[in-house]
Chains A and B, each alone.
Chain A
Amino acid sequence: MTGTATAGAVLPRVEFDVQVCKGCGVCIAACPEDIIEYADVFNHRGVKPTRLAEGGLVKCSACGNCAVVCPDGAVTVDNVRKHLHFGKDPLRIGDMHYCPGCDEGTVHELLAEVIHDLGIQEVTVGVASVGCTVFAYRYIDIDWQQAAHGRATSVAWGIECQHPELRVFTLQGDGDLAGIGIGETFHAAARGDPTVLIFLNNAIYGMTGGQLAPTSLMGMVTSTSPEGRDVKNHGYPVTMTEALALQQGCSFAVRTSVHDAPSIRKTKKYIRQAFLNQEKNRSLSVVEILSACPSGWKLDPVDAHQYVVETLMPAYKPGVIKEPPGGMPR
């Protein structure tokens, strides 16, 4: 659905790609004007896509929230009056395999935007290890290496050790980074590798279908903790970013989330600062992103984002954990 300027008013252009939409509904929740709704008909994915409600365009403030929160880049908003554009970055490619409402798509978009904004797409190499992010190479148009489960930071060091001109980042989940790969991750911080570590913490093994992860919270019900996480059987959750921040070779550590438009905008700022810190301080930068896994958590996508706020955030407090020497990069 495309809006066009009508006589006397400069209307925004709002477009919903009905074929890309997975019907997660986070755009509906994010709209301050309450003008987004589900369509009546199914798309090729078998879901009812979202659309602008009848007559919604005139009420639209062109805030861009719907485009910002859409994990699949299905929404484009042009704020014609302020010359603002919200939508998929050109570096972002492909049709994502992620479940409806999964935050990984959002993080891909932020990475693409930051890499694009900084103009480093010709020197950036991503490393994605086993887990849901393993297909990340399909979605951001840069060089990639796929790594074995847990080994991304070691692979990253191999890439950058003789290529100081390269900007290497890893995209890792909590099972990968805080479970099987905790040694590799920890020692990347100890060595002070100039890697940007994007840590998606959804407190669960997503790709294998929702098993207990090192970061699963106390009491959390998963397919391998059916009675909830308890100390006797499962021990305590790992607080990885704090542990990394304690290492001298880690110069920047932050925890953030992408549960709504403001938090997504803040996370973009942090990712940008991590890449700036990579250039400036040549040591490890960590951005932990609390992420919703609606499928693994067995929650509706909108409820899953509420779960991030109500359950994950109290246990994993967002904020800057370690500020780089010389202050936050700008």
Chain B
Amino acid sequence: MTAEAGVLEAGPRAAAERAVEGEVLLKGCEAIAEAAIRSGIDAYFAYPITPQTDIPEYMAEHLPKIGKTYTQANSEISAINMVYGAAGAGLRCMTSSSSPGVSLKQEGISYIAGAELPCFIVNVMRGGPGLGTVYGSQEDYWQSVKGGGHGGYRMPVMAPATVQECADLTMLCIRLADLYRTPTLLCLDGTLGQMWENLTFGEFDETGLPPKPWATTGRKGGRPANLVNSIIIEPPELEAHNRLLHARYAQIAQREQRWEEYQADDAEVIIVAFGLAGRIARTAVDQLRAAGRKVGLVRPISLFPFPVDGFRPLVGRPRKWLVVEMNAGQMVEDVKGALFDLGRIDPVKFYGRQGGVIPTPDEIAEVVQREFPKGGAR
């Protein structure tokens, strides 16, 4: 915002210096970082943790060159509170971490949600609980979508399955943050964060994003004082505030559902899986189709809001459902809830691998064959 004279502005020229025009080969983490720079972030606050450290490294190399802030904080807690301050001062800003570090950020995220500040957070998930492992996992689904911090807030959560989606959904998350004055979370497993793929960067969509007259940029011109705050002591006032927040969450739930449907229309068995598990399940669908099974896939891309609308066209007749996750079964609750809300009591089975173990397409295909044998009772 206050780039020194002679410092490059973010944009095509700066991007050219980073040699990322046209189709490029990047890691998932690098794609996120580059997409965030192209989305015009002013500040990024870091703390190293595997397997997301490529994001701070990319930011450290490129952000200062265009006059933006890169700060390595003393902890994840400090980093998320820098985000709070920066977002409150009207900056477009972000932080990133991996599971144990994201746990540390939860207090700050709750404050950010309470104070209605737009910011972007990345969780490159690893296996837990505790220190767990550095290998990729999806064990933070509940933490991500159910309000990992205190106070019952929600925030948009997007789950990419490819490096291309890492970039696209980063731009979307940054846009949704400003649009709804909310923290947004990009949630991917560590494997995708470390995966190299070709991608092409899109344009950040600035249309319709509101100005930030509430930002604490000083009472210039004698305007009334601004306050960034999450303390509302009187219960009726806090209730009124929370009702407004939840009305906004309802609006987000209505407008921002995203999913991918693959060969689901005529399928007898539909696999539901997100992120990398969804991508692996897609290969399993191809294998099962080749073996003569009518199997399809619904891959939720938005985890909050959960894409209930993706199930709506599929509930006209009985199906069998298999939820595949890289955890012990977390999203499966939301799949059951969505089907119940849509009036179905189809059987829903679950298959998961945990602790950083990645399921193979063969394994998933075998589970489908075993749990839902061909010609088996409906």
Contacts and interface: CB of A to CB of B under 8 A. Distances in A.
Given A144-B216, A146-B230, A166-B218, A184 B81 contact: yes
B218 A154 contact: no
B2 A162 contact: yes
Interface in B70-91: 71, 73-75, 77-79, 81-89, 91
Interface stretch (A2-10, A135-143, A283-291): A135-143
A185 to B, nearest CB: 10
B133 interface: no
A162 B63 CA distance: 12
Interface in B232-270: none
B108 interface: yes
Interface string A156-190: 11111111111000000000000000011011001
Interface stretch (B19-27, B120-128, B219-227, B313-321): B219-227
Interface residues of B, number: 43
Contacts of A156: 85
B1 A154 contact: no
**Chain B facing A: main interface SS:** mixed
Contacts of A151: 77-78, 81, 84, 108
Given A158-B45, A164-B2, A145 B216 contact: yes
Nearest to B107: A148
A29 to B, nearest CB: 33
A162 B82 contact: no
Interface string A188-224: 0011000000000000000000000000000000000
A147 interface: yes
B138 to A, nearest CB: 28
Nearest to B219: A122
Given A122-B219, A122-B220, A154 B78 contact: yes
Contacts of A137: 225, 227, 229
Interface in B87-111: 87-89, 91, 93, 107-108, 111
A162 B86 contact: yes
Contact of B1 (A124, A144, A162, A191): A162
A162 B43 contact: yes
A187 B73 contact: yes
B43 A158 contact: yes
A154 B85 contact: yes
B66 to A, nearest CB: 12
B78 A125 contact: no
Contacts of B84: 145, 147-148, 151, 154-155, 158
A183 B79 CA distance: 12
Given A143-B219, A155-B84, A162 B78 contact: no
Contact of A155 (B75, B85, B107): B85
A80 interface: no
Contact of B69 (A124, A161, A184): A161
A184 B1 contact: no
A154 B230 CA distance: 17
A158 B88 contact: yes
A142 B217 CA distance: 10
Contacts of B220: 122-123
Given A122-B221, A146-B228, A146-B230, A187 B78 contact: yes
Contacts of B42: 162
B231 interface: yes
A142 B108 CA distance: 24
A158 B74 contact: no
B282 interface: no
17 contacts: A142-B225, A143-B216, A143-B225, A145-B88, A146-B115, A148-B107, A155-B81, A158-B83, A158-B89, A158-B93, A159-B88, A160-B89, A162-B68, A163-B89, A166-B217, A183-B74, A183-B78
Given A148-B84, A162-B89, 7 more contacts: A125-B217, A137-B229, A143-B216, A145-B84, A154-B81, A159-B86, A162-B69
Interface of B: 1-2, 42-43, 45, 68-69, 71, 73-75, 77-79, 81-89, 91, 93, 107-108, 111, 115, 216-222, 225-231
10 closest Cβ pairs, A-B complex:
A158-B85, A155-B85, A158-B86, A154-B81, A151-B81, A187-B74, A158-B82, A143-B216, A145-B228, A123-B218
